[in-house]
Structure 1
């Protein structure tokens, strides 16, 4: 699994915006299924948005890479 974390800091050094990008190469792995399930739960549970302390908003965005499409279409 590859991941990337980003964001920026305000003048006091507080991190105020951030994001995480995860990529799992093996689409059939058990870890992919578990990671996807947890990501969907976090989105459903709304751990960030509309909370008193304002922890942020969680959103799952699935992407479909062109290279994976070729591999999948050849495998069928």
Structure 2
């Protein structure tokens, strides 16, 4: 499960995704909505796979999701 923490807001995202946290727990989610919120712990790394129709993966990026006190998103591409 995702660790308890502050809320992260993803303001622009589309498609389907799979979050794999540091404990190898897979969490599926849809990114079809705007202003999606994730509750995560601080400085936790995720592998986010964006797939078309939930089938073929066309992008694999490693993001660092940092909790913020404002409503702005912080997405750091590595």
More strand by share: 2
Higher relative contact order (CA 8 A, sep 6+): 2
- Using the size of structure 2 for normalisation, the TM-score is 0.22
More helix by share: 1
